[in-house]
A and B are shown apart, each in its own frame.
Chain A
Amino acid sequence: MSQHAVRPTPASPTPPGGHLLEVRDLHVEFRTGEGVAKVINGVSYHLDPGETLAVLGESGSGKSVTAQAIMGILDTPPAHISSGEIRYSGHDLLGLPEEQRRQIRGKEIAMIFQDALSALNPVFPVGWQIGETLRQRLGMSRADARRRSVELMDLVQIPAAARRLGDYPHQFSGGMRQRVMIAMALAMEPRVLIADEPTTALDVTVQAQIMDLLADLRRNLDMAMILITHDLGVVADVADRIAVMYAGRIVEHADVRSLYRAPAHPYTKGLLNSIPRLDQRGGKLSTIRGLPPNLMRIPSGCPFHPRCPYVQQVCVDVVPHDLVLGDGRTSACHFAQEVRDDRAG
């Protein structure tokens, strides 16, 4: 162990203040009849203007819950934000009254969801749904909202937009539906777009088109983007930085290049190794053994220790801090450096 080379710090790799959006030490619990599930356990990340942060993790790792906490659309109850801070250009969002938070939703921070078929209201035409935001939030007239809706649908490259305004969500293909969703989110030109698994429900070819569209729009409209995904392949081209989540914590935080070249957390390493590769055809696919933890009984010490190939006694006893590895990288692993330098694993 080379503890002298790394020093424990508070979670954020860059000093606080000045970020567009910042989540600090967020804790969220779900209080259900069966007990309390600790879904988010001290998540911190930040987003600067114009950049793309990818939040990576398995189902149940807490990536969507964090995003919904930022949006203020968590169902409370059962969800309960027990501590932490979410700051958006200087405002403490969690301290704002609901009416002011509502003003920020959609206008400053917008969100698109995984399954556009269920995320769009099935009984209203898509033009009505895009226009609703414009009419209700910006006070546009019916005709203006209609015109602007066509522009937005053109912007997300829906062919013959004007003719499709009156169509219902179920009349669109999966890819087109997700474009409608994006058009709706862009209606008020938000500064931050949160994309929650925007391509998971789509065919692979369509996935690439939607990712390209999102990347282009982010650049052209000068937005910052939080891209939530469990697909490592998706993030490589689009993201600037990656935060890897496990059991409601961020276990590794790094820029895309360094993370792909040398992951510094055993979980990230496991994820990268489990991507099928052409040069290893015929071999057995590498997997991470075991299952994600039950959030009502998170393991002691490092929550990943029951599945970790590097596990030692210290991992069972002590919760690892975020260790700063230089270049703004952090890893919540007692053996972060060893893992990073171990190219074999």
Chain B
Amino acid sequence: MFRFIVRRLLQMILAFFGTTLIVYALMFAGQGDPIQALAGERPVTAAQRAYLTEKYHLDATGVGGFFYRYFDYISNLLRGDLGESLTGRSIGDILAAAWPVTIRLALIALAVAVIFGVTAGVLAGIRRASIFDNATLLLTLLVLGIPTIVLAPLAQYFLGVKWQVFPPTAGADPDFYALLLPGIVLGSLSLATALRLTRTSVAENLRADYVRTARSKGLPNRRVVSVHVLRNSLIPVITFLGVEVGNLMSGAIITEGVFNIPGVGFNLFRGIRTEDGPLVVGIVSVLVVVYLISNLVVDILYAVLDPRIRYE
């Protein structure tokens, strides 16, 4: 297990450099005039041009120059300095403000998926082909079929504007109540997937031989299901939810955009729209790390949950 983790960490370093290199290259390398690209449509004065050329080492040209600048960026990154956005704010500060909001949103979404998705999935799995099972199938297919870009404005319009059950937008420093509707919208997709996965897993495990054994020991049905079946059924579900945490943490660009939530996805979206190169590369670099770590945690969790999994 220890060797597995060390090997994975080494792989993570490679993956980190690989992805940041690609994002950095996409953001800066292809453009004819990087300074104009950094500034977007705004005019650049000669003084600004000289300052930026100096700052980003743009006097070095060609592939060598690109790597020179890339390593300069990375060495700053490794010291914890994410640089500044084009608006002059420290990207570290932007992320420090955005991250807590995104984490709260992600936790609400996750709670929605776990509480409703897993519970309904277990019930549907036990009562296969019942009305409840078919009703959840229909609902989940509906949710899975509607993209967030449609679902989020719909929910905002009906629940936020028309019936005014929830605040329609979150705004700066949102509280729990303001994040509830976006959290439910964001979590609905995970909920639907978690429900289908739990349902299939429970239904499959209920037919397993060890269930017959547990019943032949004279255990009450309640215990057979809640201990023997659930413990096995939840292995894939927890693995899925672990990966999902990584996805949710990496910012919900659409949901945060629609509900005006100042989280990571919101800032990333703004960075892309305003062609704020340093901001985009900075956020993506951090997201890569978050994603790699959450994947490693899921792999370790999998081995903890299923004793048959052994990593060499």
Q: Taking beta carbons and an 8 Å cutoff, which residues of A are in contact with B?
A: 68, 71, 73, 75, 102-107, 110-111, 113, 115, 118-124, 132-133, 136-137, 168, 170, 181, 184, 187-188
A122→B219 CA distance, assembly (Å) = 18
Partner of A123, one of B207, B214, B219, B306: B306
A105 proximity list for chain B (CB < 8 A)? 215-218
Since A120-B210, A121-B213, A121-B214 are in contact, a sample of 14 more A-B pairs with Cβ atoms closer than 8 Å, ordered by chain A residue number, is A71-B215, A73-B212, A105-B218, A106-B216, A106-B218, A110-B216, A118-B210, A119-B210, A119-B212, A121-B228, A122-B210, A122-B308, A123-B231, A187-B217
A181→B219 CA distance, assembly (Å): 16
| A105 to B223 Cα, complex, angstroms | 15
For the complex, count residues of B whose C-beta is within 8 A of A: 22
CB pair A170–B308 under 8 Å, yes or no, is yes
Inter-subunit contact B307/A123 (CB<8 Å):
yes
A124 to B235: give the CA distance in the assembly, Å: 13
Distance to closest chain A CB from B133 (angstroms): 15
Q: In the bound complex, what is the Cα–Cα distance between A187 and B218 (angstroms)?
A: 12
Q: How far is the CA of A71 from the CA of B217 in the complex (A)?
A: 10
Within 8 A of A (CB), among B19-56: none
Q: Which residues of B contact A188 (CB under 8 A)?
A: 218
Secondary structure type dominating chain B contacts? helix
* A169 and B207 alpha carbons, distance in the complex (Å): 19
**Inter-subunit contact A106/B213 (CB<8 Å):** no
Contacts of B217 in A (CB 8 A): 105-106, 132-133, 136-137, 184, 187
A102 and B218 contacting across the interface, CB-CB below 8 Å:
yes
**A residues less than 8 Å from B214 (CB atoms):** 121
Q: List residues 213-263 of chain B with CB under 8 A from any CB of chain A.
A: 213-220, 223, 228, 231-232, 235
Say yes or no: A119-B213 contact (C-beta < 8 A), given A124-B231, A136-B223: yes
Q: Which residue on chain A has the smallest CB distance to residue B223?
A: A136
Residues on B facing A (Cβ under 8 Å): 207-210, 212-220, 223, 228, 231-232, 235, 305-308
List, in ascending order, chain B residues with CB within 8 A of A104's CB: 218
Residues of A within 8 Å of B216, CB to CB, are: 71, 73, 105-106, 110-111
Give the residues in chain A near B215, CB-CB below 8 Å: 71, 73, 105
Interface of A is mostly: mixed
Distance between Cα atoms of A118 and B207 in the complex (Å): 11
When distances are taken between beta carbons in the complex, the residues of chain B under 8 Å from A170 are: 307-308
Contact A115:B209 (CB < 8 A) given known A124-B231, A170-B307:
yes
CB neighbours of A110 from chain B (8 A): 216
* 28 A-B residue pairings within 8 Å (CB atoms): A68-B212, A71-B216, A102-B220, A103-B218, A104-B218, A105-B216, A105-B217, A106-B217, A111-B216, A119-B209, A119-B210, A119-B213, A120-B210, A121-B210, A121-B231, A121-B232, A122-B232, A122-B308, A123-B231, A123-B307, A124-B231, A133-B218, A136-B219, A137-B218, A137-B219, A168-B307, A170-B307, A184-B217
Smallest CB separation, B310 vs chain A (Å): 10
* Bound-complex Cα distance A297 to B218 (A): 35
Interface pair B219/A132, CB less than 8 Å apart? yes
Complex A-B, nearest 9 residue pairs according to Cβ-Cβ distance, in ascending order: A105-B218, A106-B218, A118-B209, A121-B210, A168-B307, A119-B209, A106-B217, A111-B216, A119-B213
A120 in complex: contacting residue of B207, B213, B306, CB < 8 Å: B213
Point out the residues of chain B lying under 8 angstroms from A106, CB to CB. 216-218
Inter-chain CA distance A121–B306, complex, in Å, is: 11
Contacts of B209 in A (CB 8 A): 113, 115, 118-119
Chain B residues whose C-beta falls within 8 Å of the C-beta of A168 in the assembled complex = 307-308
A123 to B213, Cβ gap below 8 A? no
Q: B219 contacts which chain A residues (CB < 8 A)?
A: 102, 132-133, 136-137
In the assembled complex, which residues on chain B have CB atoms less than 8 Å from the CB atom of A119?
209-210, 212-213
User: Which of B213, B228, B235, B305 gathers the greatest number of chain A CB atoms within 10 Å?
Assistant: B213
A105 CA to B217 CA, complexed, in Å: 6
List the B side residues contacting A107 at CB < 8 Å.
218
Q: Check B307–A118 contact: CB distance below 8 A.
A: no
Q: Cβ of A123: which chain B residues have Cβ within 8 Å of it?
A: 231-232, 235, 305-307
B307 lies within 8 A of A122 (CB)? yes
Chain B's closest residue to A118 (CB) is B209
Residue of A nearest to B308 (CB): A170
Q: Which residues of B contact A184 (CB under 8 A)?
A: 213, 217
* Chain A residues, CB < 8 A from B212: 68, 73, 113, 119
B282 to chain A, nearest CB (A): 42
Nearest chain B residue, comparing its CB with the CB of A130 = B217
CA distance A60 to B219 in the complex (A): 28
The docked-state distance in angstroms from the alpha carbon of A105 to that of B219 is 8
B308 / chain A contacts, CB cutoff of 8 Å = 122, 168, 170
Q: How far is the CB of B257 from chain A (nearest CB, A)?
A: 42
Q: Which of A115, A119, A181 has the most CB of B within 10 A?
A: A119
Residues of the B chain whose Cβ atoms lie less than 8 Å from the Cβ of A102: 218-220
Instruction: Looking at the assembled complex, report how far the CB atom of B233 sits from the nearest CB atom of chain A, in whole angstroms.
Output: 10
Complex Cα spacing A107 to B212, Å: 16
Q: Which residue of B lies closest to A133 (CB)?
A: B217
Contacts of A181 in B (CB 8 A): 213
B210 and chain A: residue at smallest CB distance: A121
User: B115: shortest Cβ distance to chain A, in Å?
Assistant: 24
Instruction: Kindly list chain A residues whose C-beta atoms are within 8 Å of the C-beta of B235.
Output: 123
Instruction: For the complex, give the distance between the alpha carbons of A334 and B306 in Å.
Output: 56
